[in-house]
Structure 1
Amino acid sequence: MDTVTVLNGSTQASGKLRQVEGVAIYAGKKTEVINLANINANTATNNARQIYGRIVGLNIWEYDGGGLQLGIGGRGLNPSRVSNFNTRQNGYDISADALGYPESYYVPPTEALERIEIVRGAAGLQYGTQFGGLVNFQLKKGAPDKKYEVVSRQTAGSWGFFNTFNSVGGTVKKLNYYTFYQYKRGDNWRPNSHYDQHAAYLHLDYPLTSKLKITGEYSFMHYLAQQPGGLTDADFENDPSVSVRTRNWFKVNWNLINLSLDYTFNNHTKINMRNYALVAGRDALGILNYINRPDPGGERDMMSDDYKNIGSEIRLLHQYTMFKKQTSTFLIGTRLYKGLTKRFQGDADAGSGPKFEFEGIEPDGSGYDFPGNNFSVFSENIFQINDKWSITPGARFEYISTKADGYYYQQMRFVPNVKRFEKKENNRSFVFFGIGSSYKLLNGVEFYANISQNYRSVNFNDIRILNDNARVDSSLKDERGYTADLGVRGKIKDWLYYDMTAFYLKYKNRIGSVFTRDVDFMVYRLRKNVADSRNIGFESLIEADLLKAITYGRSPYKLSVYTNFSIIDARYYNSADASIQDKQVEFVPPVLFRTGISFGKKAYNFTWQYSYVGQQYSDATNAEFTPSAVDGLIPSYNVMDISVSYKWKWATIFGSINNVTNTKYFTRRADGYPGPGIIPSDKRGYFVTVQFKL
């Protein structure tokens, strides 16, 4: 599997990927790595603010105290369920439907992760055309030198939180195995918010010969969560702990299978084949009407999705010499993907419990099949000009076919609703290009630059949805554009790591949300091609072990400090609508600042983290306030966290205080589930974990 270069070994939390990792090329690209073993954070709740604190330019949605879902967006992209990244686990897709609905309802437990790898927009040539790039969750493997290693972690915390994570792994003869089971439950700090989650995983890999290795993996996740709904601005200011929805529920089932083959021809050539399948679903049940109106009672709205996807990706990597015997690297790959989403919406059970059943013979809102097919070929080549300078051009051919086949009921005022049948097909193909370059000076300093074309298709939510708070322009078009980076990174000896980047992201026909009123003066969020947009910014990460610098590595203690800072100016332009021209792009905080200090030895550690996020808007008109609370200002906020740990032989105890100052804030205004309206973030919470490792 892939390996990572992280600043002199094992103590640094952040780092970067090497030029070549396994069967992938990262030369000249902006890459980031989080090494989970070196982070003192609340991993039981998947606290994204702490875990991703060293990743620059991330806007994080914090609305899920149990860590059931992840919402991150980079460089001004929408954080909704990581939908603007190509999201993978161990190198294969985990999202609901990579073609038409690239949202990730499944996130592997942080306690099971070895590291998290992030590659920015230039990753589009190898991993798909998303503007955000790649997020890859690399799970742990069994210990290579033990027949078994057992880890058991038990966590208790505020609001009835309990989490148990238990894993066993090792190597028996040639077979490496790793498996875990996790269960968590909690009530969160607002009423009507109980959740239960089960997750499990099995990894087996076996070298059939000295050249051929086979790997099989299975991931399972199920959770049921009651959702307390959103709030109006007035309700949030008065008391953010209240809930005005008692009948909203959300359920997710996830089954993910992967079979990989690795074959090494010789020291210069190897091939990898990944075959994966997803059988999954999610159901949302509740009241979606305006949050400034009470629950009307009666039947609830239900949205039900089933996902059945299969994919195969083959990569061949070959290294050769040229330019005075410099080692260059050639990569070529192909991907086949077939997805099918079945989506239904309509009236369901009128009770208050999690009864996910439609009323009547068929859903009375809509019912669709969304099949999709994708074929792509991609290639990159590192031309190593000399021992300092490399140039990496690349290209990707993409064929995408998305279809919609189903019905919807057109709502009528004075007569019964009319059933309409709808059938659409959208086939397109294109070639994208990119190029990157890296120049390494003495003392570990590296300059890098890249530019790559990107593309994002209209997704299934943009085709048909029934929601009073959100509507879709029927003439929606796909988005195109490009991303460019110019940066410098490196290390000073073995005590300081830095990465500073200027970036430019160009969108054509950007899909965004516009605050709108209908003929009855009811407000809603209209999703449309708003205008062209551009995001320009600067981001930097500096992480240093100060005691190592002062004592020249002789101190048994560690005092690590990091700062993560970014500024982004994201604007709409080329718009015929004066209410949008030159307005800020939604979900883009102009300033993001995160910093932290860790002090300790091998046996204990104390960590303090601070996060500041500037104010942002939820729609393209930059509306400050709406009665429905679906659109409006998201004020700036700052949050502090404290984590401690102590290790004694085979036992370790962890403690954390999240949101130490009990800041009242929110990061999201939702037009549907888990809202609609303002979704308050968690107040101060306390958590304790006891771990045994044998």
Structure 2
Amino acid sequence: MRSIYGVLIFVFFLSSTALAQKNKVEGKVIDPQGTPVSGASVLLKGTVRGVQTDLQGNFEIKDFPAGKYDLVVSLVGFESQERSFSIGEKETKNLDITLTEEEYLLSEFSISASRGILGQGNMPEVSDFQINAGKKNEVIKLAEIDANLAMNNSRQIFGRTPGISIWENDGSGIQLGVASRGLSPNRSWEFNVRMNGYDITPDPMGYPEAYFTPPMEVVEEIQIIRGASSLQYGPQFGGLMNFVLRKPDKSTRFTAESINTVGSNGLFSTFNYIGGTEGKWNYTAYYQKRRGEGWRENGFFNTDHAHVEVNYAASNRLKLGYEMTYMTTETQQPGGLTDAQFGENSQQSSRSRNWFNTPWFIPSLSAEYLVSPNTKLSWKAFGTFAERNSVGFMRPINQEDDLGNRQVDRDFYTTYGTELRLQHNYQLFGQEQTLMSGLRYFNGAIDRKQLGTGTTGSEMDFSVVDGDFRRDLDFTNINLAAFAENVLRFNEKLLFTAGIRLENIQSNMEGQLNISNGNPQILTPATRTRTFALLGLGAEYHVGKSTEFYTNFSQAYRPVLISDLTPPATTDVIDPNLQDARGYNFDFGYRGKVASYLNFDLSYFFLNYDNRIGTLAQANADGSIFNFRTNLGRSVSQGFEGYVEFDPITAFVGSSRYGYLHLFASVAVINATYKDFVVTSVSNGEIAERNLAGNEVENAPRNINRFGATYKYGKFSMTWQMSDISETFSDASNTVEPNAAATVGLIPAYQVQDLSASWNVWKQHSLKAGVNNLTDERYFTRRAGGYPGPGIMPADGRTFYLTLGLKF
């Protein structure tokens, strides 16, 4: 933490100290009516130097070499302006710019003029070092939606994103559990989860569970690319989920913001942010503190987040950056419930001694270099130094806590990686084409210590009374990858994409599995190496300037995970030829906007998931039974995803002095079934075999529907939202009647409503308030087989929150 405080002092120094200036270009950006245009991008063409206009439309760029430049001013909805100028040493040049409104293509990030259809958009065909053309993608703009951001409320944040299933059992907001297209929401592990483009999970190749989530108050947008992201990012089947943090303010030397929230069950959250630009430097930093008692008994949480980012324009062509993020948590886990307990009182808890802790440190270095006006390079180096710690009574939930020694499990993650990307634009067929290529190296090490004998106390204490863990395993994953993808434009309407990714993965496992009768059970060290290629094709056809058809086919994979390589017992056998799960994603859709009052994205998807891993009972020559972990079969998810948002007032009236009403629907119909999946059971020493073909995939609701309405009047906004989720099964056998431990059984359908409002007052200050789970629905989305259960994990009932935001 000392290093964080040191950087904070440094950026404060930057904000108050004027650096030596070589020269300066300044001016004001207005529209044809003379109104200042704020938030416009002002860039010195062919360089990395750029700023944004402030609330009065003013801008300044200083401390750059003398010479001749082209100043480019742009903002979505306006025609870009380019102005040439020359400047000498220590000279100040004044350039005022007038922007004219323009009808723009869908390939630009669309913002509706109706002031309400803002929270959900699509990514441009090509963004910095990223090809998005032909891919199913969404951009969630956090600042434009009414939601409980202090608690990272997932169903509100993803309310307009069709097909997102959510495990709503972590009311603390520390971890997100989301998935799409019939995949498992378990800590979002079917997504490739990144922040600002770099990894934040322990190991995407071996343990992709997302224990860390940045505070939504600092997230500018969430980028989601479905399975077609596999070429540029690798695993997983679910695609990419990238949290883009708010960048340093380029319109001022210094800005500060404080967002403070209070709410039900002792909730208190304070988020404090600074940022600014001074000459060649820009910086940002935040600190968030959040704590509360939780909606359920024994649900205490206490979290701290801190982040610093500093960027430096070393020259007109080279920009350097450094980021570091730190999180620490203290979470009491109320555990699961039986079905009877849930029916009696879903707030109760019979586990008062279960605790969870995840210290997380993520540093990152970056560089961006403009080789030429058409070619640029991006380099990122990153690491994750973190822990996952738990202590508690882990027996089935229908067994009473005996108040004896608890079980301690600890993971230690030490990972680092680097990615180099090149973006090159060239001319062909009279059109600008784009080639994207990249190299990746990743090294992940996990030290897993489990089955430790903990204390008999009730506090968060991860000490082991005998000083040892019965299970002590070491895993390493080394990944080398290279990719290339090209956008080929034939004319203004039609484009194709094609790409390939080459992967090499080396996994190693060794250590002690358990101690039996005082004798250590040592695993035979195992190393697995594989090399393979993934292919992808896509296309877009622009029907007009604002609508398009898109389609994509991309191969995908999921590497064999640590859990797949770790037998639960020494008698179990791992298939030496165990293969990574392979398959593909296919999308076909139509998206766009009609004038300024209708946004839509309607699509069909098909996800083929082959080589799914499971366990079969096998017989030895002597008749003894053992479990054999191998690739068992295939599942398919297919269906419809639709998002529509409509502004009837703008459509039928045009403008209104009484405000605007925006209606949205996010609808998904998902048919996720097993096609061929052999399983076995043992009865009276005999092995019985059956096939799950035709069974529904577990944790895959057939219908995921969310509807809402937003009313906007001036600086006031209010949103009502309803989530309507169908029933689903908790296991692949599609068990309906729950077992005694409540780990399997039907997960019933539910409806839950939320109401949120915001009011921007006193210029940049704001008030926000809301009610989550308006009707106090009692429901659950998950039956856990282990931690943080086992048993039913209830979702939160009705809660309230009030937020005051101050900006200076």
TM-score by length of 2: 0.81
| Equivalence for 2:719 | 607
The alignment of Structure 1 onto Structure 2 pairs a total of residues equal to 679
- Measure how far apart 1:241 and its partner are: 1.1
Aligned: 1:584 with 2:584:
no
Counterpart of 1:634 (choices 728, 735, 747) is 747
User: Counterpart in 2 of 1:643?
Assistant: 756
Pairing 1:391-470 to 2, within 5 Å after superposition: 391-409=496-514, 411=516, 415-416=517-518, 418-464=520-566
- Partner of 1:420, secondary structure, is strand
Answer whether contact 2:202 2:444 (CA < 8 A) is retained.
no
Residues 497, 228 of structure 1: CA spacing in aligned structure 2 closer, same or farther, 3 A cutoff? Answer: same
Contact residue 486 and residue 502 of structure 1 kept, 8 A: yes
| Alpha-carbon distance in 1 for matches of 2:410, 2:526 | 21
Distance in 2 between residues matched to 1:610 and 1:246, nearest whole Å: 33
Q: Does 1:60 align with 2:166?
A: yes
- Where in structure 2 are the equivalents of 1:182-221 lying within 5 Å? 182-221=288-327
Consecutive unaligned residues of structure 1, counting only runs of 5 or more, are 516-524
Within 5 A, what are the aligned runs for 1:99-248? 99-248=205-354
The equivalent of 1:658 in structure 2 is 772
Query: How many Å apart are 1:574 and its aligned residue?
Result: 2.0
Q: Distance in 2 between matches of 1:527 and 1:253?
A: 33
* CA distance 1:385–1:534, change in 2 (3 Å): same
- Deviation of 1:175 after TM superposition, in Å, equals 1.3
User: Cα–Cα, structure 1 residues 90 and 642, in superposed 2: closer, same or farther, change >3 Å?
Assistant: same
The corresponding residue for 1:478 is 580
Q: Does the C-alpha gap of structure 1 residues 477 and 620 become closer, same or farther in structure 2, counting only changes over 3 Å? A: farther
Residues 572-630 of structure 1 deviation map (CA, whole Å, 9 limit, x = unaligned)? 12234435221000110000100111102232111100001111111110111222111
SS at match of 2:232: helix
- In the TM superposition, what whole-angstrom CA distance separates every residue of 1:202-233 from its partner, at most 9, and x where no partner exists? 11112111111111111110001010100111
Equivalence map 1:245-644=2 (5 Å): 245-323=351-429, 325-346=430-451, 347-364=453-470, 366-409=471-514, 411=516, 415-416=517-518, 418-464=520-566, 474-475=574-575, 477-511=579-613, 529-553=631-655, 555=657, 557-577=659-679, 578=690, 580-624=692-736, 625-644=738-757
Give the CA deviation at 1:164: 0.5
Letter in 2 for 1:375: L
How far 1:113 moved relative to its partner? 0.8
* Residues 208 and 299 (structure 1), Cα distance of their counterparts in 2 relative to 1, 3 Å cut: same
Q: Deviations over 1:256-309 (max 9, x none)?
A: 011110011222111100111111111011111111111133211111011111
- Whether the 8 Å contact between 1:410 and 1:419 is mirrored in structure 2 is yes
Distance 1:149 1:637, change over 3 A: same
Distance 2:264 2:643 in 1: 32
Shift of the alpha carbon at 1:64? 1.3
TM-score (normalizing by structure 1): 0.94
Kept in 2: contact 1:371–1:402 (CA 8 A): yes
| Aligned AA (1:644) | A
Q: How does 1:89-104 map to 2 (within 5 A)?
A: 89-104=195-210
Unaligned runs of 5+ in 2: 1-47, 51-75, 77-107, 618-626, 680-689
**CA offset at residue 554 of structure 1?**
5.4
Distance 1:676 1:514, change over 3 A: farther
For residues 556 and 205 of structure 1, the distance between their equivalents in structure 2, rounded to whole angstroms, comes to 44
Kindly indicate whether residue 807 of structure 2 is the aligned counterpart of residue 690 of structure 1.
no
Query: Which residue identity is paired with 1:574?
Result: D
User: Retained in 2: the 8 A contact 1:472–1:528?
Assistant: no
1:138-170, Cα deviation, whole Å (9 max, x unpaired): 000222111111111111111111000010111
Q: Does the CA-based 8 Å contact 1:443-1:491 persist in structure 2?
A: no
| Aligned position for 1:518 | none
Preserved CA contact (<8 Å) 2:660 2:713: yes
- Which is further off, 438-447 or 332-341? 438-447
Report % sequence identity: 38
Structure 1 position 530, deviation (Å): 4.6
Q: Report deviation, 1:482.
A: 0.6
Question: In 2, are the aligned partners of 1:319 and 1:328 still within 8 Å (CA)?
Answer: yes
1:462 match: secondary structure: helix
When structure 1 is superposed on structure 2, of 579-588 and 72-81 the one drifting more is 579-588
CA contact under 8 A between 1:177 and 1:202: conserved in structure 2?
yes
- Matched residue of 2:372: which SS? coil
Q: List per-residue Cα deviations over 1:345-374 (Å, max 9, x = no partner).
A: 02222221111112324202x101111100
SS in 2 for 1:245: coil
Structure having the higher Rg: 2
| SS of alignment partner, residue 235 of structure 1 | helix
Whether 1:675 and 2:780 are equivalent positions in the alignment is no
**Cα distance between partner residues in 2 of 1:300 and 1:500:** 51
- Aligned-residue Cα RMSD (Å) equals 2.2
C-alpha separation in 1, matches of 2:345 and 2:572 = 33
- 2:337 alignment partner, SS class: coil
Taking a change above 3 Å as real, the CA distance of residues 597 and 329 of structure 1, as seen in their structure-2 partners, is same
Contact 1:214 1:261 in 2 (8 A): yes
Supply the distance in 2 between the matched residues of 1:683 and 1:318 (Cα, whole angstroms): 52
Deviates more, 1:582-591 or 1:525-534: 525-534
* Contact 1:495-1:544 at 8 Å conserved across structures: yes
The one-character-per-residue Cα deviations of 1:623-672 (angstroms, maximum 9, x if unpaired) are 11222111111111110000011221142111010000000000111111
Equivalent-residue separation in structure 1 for 2:415 and 2:260 (angstroms) = 34
Match of 2:54 in 1: none
Comparing 498-507 with 625-634, which one deviates more in the overlay?
Answer: 625-634
Distance 1:126 1:409, change over 3 A: same
